[in-house]
Amino acid sequence: MLLSKNVSSRVVAGLLLAVPLALSSAASAQSVPSAESTLLLTWFEDPTTTMAVQWITPGDVPPRAAGTADISGADHPLPAFDAKQVDDLVFDGDPADWGRRGLRVAHMPQPNGNWPDPTGSASLRSAWTPHGLAVLVTVTDDEVLRASVRRKSRRPRISGDRVEFRLTGADPTGPSLRFAVGVPQDDDDDDNTLVTSQPRKTEPVAPSTGVAVHDGGYVVETLLPWSVLRGFEAVPGARCGLQVEVVDEDDGFEPERLSLAGYTNAAEAKQRTVALVLAGPGRVDAVRARIETRKTQREDGLPGARLLAIGGEPRLIGETVTLRSGKVVLGKIKLERVQGFAGAEWLLKDDFGGAAPTARLDALTLELDGRVVARAAFDAIYWSLAPDPATLQPIANETAPDRLPEAEVVAFGDRSGWFVQRVRLTELKPDTDYAVGVPGRLEPVRFRTAPATLTKPLVFAEGGDVGTSHHVGMLHDEAAQWDPLFGLVGGDCAYGNGRDAGTWLKYLKLWNDHMSPDDGRSVPMLAAIGNHEVDGGWNKHPEDSPFFRALFGPLFSPRGAYATLDFGSGDDRYASFYLLDSGHTIDHGGRQTNWLKKAMAQRRGVPHQFACYHVPAYPSHRPFDSKESAPAREHWVPLFEEQQLDAVFEHHDHTYKRTHALKGGEEVAPGDGGVLYLGDGCWGRPPRSVDSPLRPYLAVAKSERNVMRVALNPDGTQSVLAVNEHGQTLDDITISAGAAVETAQPAP
């Protein structure tokens, strides 16, 4: 058996670094964020006495560490290794002619980062010639399964113990050669090789290959030809990409693999390759260890702090190695015995305090006695500096607070290179206008707190699925005319997908430019989470929605994006909003549903109660029985009916819809405990179709962009007006006793 499964290091030491951040090439191409265009007001607690003032700024980024250019030379981190030139090799499976030449990789883990079995391992050497990339793979295996090739099937494949190669040019997504070499049935058989793919319009190639089987393992030596990489010129300084996997397919067991692949965890991106730079003859440092980034696991099973996981060949056990980023020494680490190998884990400190080194961690080296034994680069580019926190300036009027706190600094995701500066204002007066100065903003920010009691209609705007098109500004303009106290967005705000910070800058700029009433007041935004806030959409962790969490996170549970926001306090609460996570960072049921039961029990009798989430229980476009919609009907709808919510705001389908008053999925008469479902989210995105005739539970459904004006009336009713981007009325109702009464004239 070549490998052992699911083994991880538990050696932990401390590394005093600041919170890890990152800068992607996409984000760096965006305009510089400022408070003028990215201001965002929101509430994390009682809207009658508090306000959170937020804006985005760039940070102070130290110089890039050496060795972080990617395979094509672009500004993106990849570990690049020197491949030395060797011209006199014979590809016969005998390593004697290599001597000590070539890039030597002595430590190859499993593709998922787990440890190899110390009794079965693999190593490789690589060098280049004018004709191709030379690779020598030496495999230790106590049971070698001879290979066979099935060529008559539609997709020929090789089975048995083998080595799989992938060679690319400077662009890993361009022309490539995939080549597999199996251990032959007998020592004279040279037919256990297979070219699995190569560029079109090239002549079929059979790389020069030699295989030698010996007691305890085998050797594969091959020359991967440059000719398959159309236009590639093998000269010093050129770049190529290499991926190697050693597959152990012992009879009766699942195949196990060792891998040399790009980045720190090859399992996360199968297409990635190690970047090799063609260099002249000379000495090259051996790769004897690996460095990965991981997340610790908290007691609740969710990822916790970041750490560096180091694994190395057994000869490194007991050695003290130096961890370096560029010229900055980050620390010295003693490697201990872990499953027969050398290993350690180092925690990355998760705050901005302390004397953190001014170094970026986009590329790391591990050194022993001055020689590099490991290199690593990261998708996320970590560094240790944050911008200086700013302070709001009070404006000279009778309502401005005398003293304003200094801003806290929050990373705007792991990959943007930007920061959220946030000032939380407390002990404000209800139903009062305030004005404060924000650094970088020409005019003071003006806002209004919510009233302590409801003596006149309270108006807010509601919708979802927004984006950054020009239609968004038109709908914002319509909503601003209503003088709303706030806007509620039911998910899919900027369409950043948890990866693109730049879309959030555009999204916030549209809000600042258009969502402004005539008096110049800024309108706070509340938001529920949607699939386009999350890298992966569904069934992910809170950390997979980095930009949403940076802006709205303090309101929500650390386990998922669910929370309540109450207007008024204690027995004087007059409105409650249940903001829910429809399966994006936490399941509908279980913990979230149990929390919702308790939250609703504590709010019996609050006059105005609403739920807001992204994926609809009663969709107007998508299938009714979809796996995304069914959990809301199973876990939440019975609670909505028991609580007799006034309305539920749903989104995701890109239409406008209003259901009948529903109980158990059926229309019921006013006063019979039915619940109204509104929205389906099209605050800017292209509208989708609706069925004709309408589904039985739908009262209204239209393929139109829309935003809703919702007014909470002192008599306990609610008025809802839905308009399109041209101001045309789509729906106009008053909600009473769980049912909608259509209004003859549009609401003012």
User: pLDDT digits over 65-96, tens only?
Assistant: 554 443 333 344 456 788 999 989 999 999 99
Name the β-bridge partners of 526. 488
Prediction pTM value: 0.67
Strands of 540-596 (E only): list them: 563-567, 575-579
Please give the average per-residue pLDDT across 193-209, as a whole number: 77
Residue 268 has a pLDDT of: 38
Q: What are phi and psi of 230, to 5 degrees?
A: -35, 120
Question: Which of residues 203 and 9 earns the better pLDDT score?
Answer: 203
DSSP summary character for residue 532: G
- What's the chain's average pLDDT? 84
Question: Which of residues 219 and 400 earns the better pLDDT score?
Answer: 219
CA distance 747 to 269: 53
Q: Is residue 562 predicted with pLDDT exceeding 70? A: yes
Residue 171 has a pLDDT of: 77
- CB distance 507 to 466 below 8 Å: yes
Please give the average per-residue pLDDT across 168-178, as a whole number: 83
CA distance 288 to 109: 11
Terminal-to-terminal C-alpha distance of the chain? 76
DSSP summary character for residue 536: T
Please give the average per-residue pLDDT across 41-63, as a whole number: 88
Residue 617 has a pLDDT of: 98
**What is the Cα 682 distance to its own chain's centre?**
24
Q: How confident is the model at residue 334 (pLDDT cuts 50, 70, 90)?
A: very high
CA distance 56 to 36: 9
Question: With helix as H, strand as E and coil as C, how does 344-385 read?
Answer: EEEEECCECCCCCCCCCCCEEEEEECCEEEEEEECCCCCCCC
Tokens of 109: 């883990």
Contacts for 174-179: CB closer than 8 Å, 24+ residues apart? 174/229, 175/199, 175/202, 175/228, 175/229, 175/230, 176/228, 176/229, 176/241, 177/205, 177/207, 177/224, 177/225, 177/228, 177/229, 179/207, 179/222, 179/224
Q: Give the start-to-end residue ranges of the domains of the chain.
A: 24-60+387-742, 80-278
Q: Is residue 27 predicted with pLDDT exceeding 80? A: no
How far are the Cα atoms of 294, 439, 685 from residue 406, in angstroms, in the given order? 33, 12, 37
Q: What is the pLDDT of residues 383-414, one digit of tens each?
A: 556 677 888 887 655 565 666 888 888 888 86
Indicate the burial class of 716 (C-beta count within 10 angstroms; 0-12, 13-18, 19 or more): middle
- CB distance 435 to 400 below 8 Å: yes
Tokens of 145: 């399964």
For residue 249, the number of C-alpha atoms closer than 13 Å in the C-beta half-sphere is 16
Please give the average per-residue pLDDT across 475-498, as a whole number: 97
Of the candidates 361, 360, 364, 501, the one whose C-alpha atom is nearest the C-alpha of residue 58 is: 501
Q: How confident is the model at residue 569 (pLDDT cuts 50, 70, 90)?
A: confident
Q: 55-69, 131-145, 509-523, 546-560: which range is least confident on average?
A: 55-69
Please give the average per-residue pLDDT across 526-553, as a whole number: 95
Q: How many residues in total does the chain contain?
A: 748
Please give the average per-residue pLDDT across 545-550, as a whole number: 95
CA distance 26 to 730: 39
Q: Does 24-60+387-742 match 80-278 in CATH topology?
A: no
How far are the Cα atoms of 88, 89, 123, 176 from residue 99, in angstroms, in the given order? 11, 10, 15, 29
Residue 94 has a pLDDT of: 94
What does DSSP say about strands 408-411 and 418-425: parallel, antiparallel, or unpaired? antiparallel
Edge-to-edge strands, sheet with 51-58: 40-42, 51-58, 418-425, 408-411
Q: CATH number of the domain at 80-278, please?
A: 2.60.40.1190
Question: Cβ atoms within 10 A of the Cβ of 105, count?
Answer: 20
Please give the full DSSP string across 593-607, using - where no structure is assigned: HHHHHHHHHTTTT-S
Q: What is the pLDDT of residues 621-630, one digit of tens each?
A: 999 999 999 9
Q: CATH number of the domain at 24-60+387-742, please?
A: 3.60.21.10
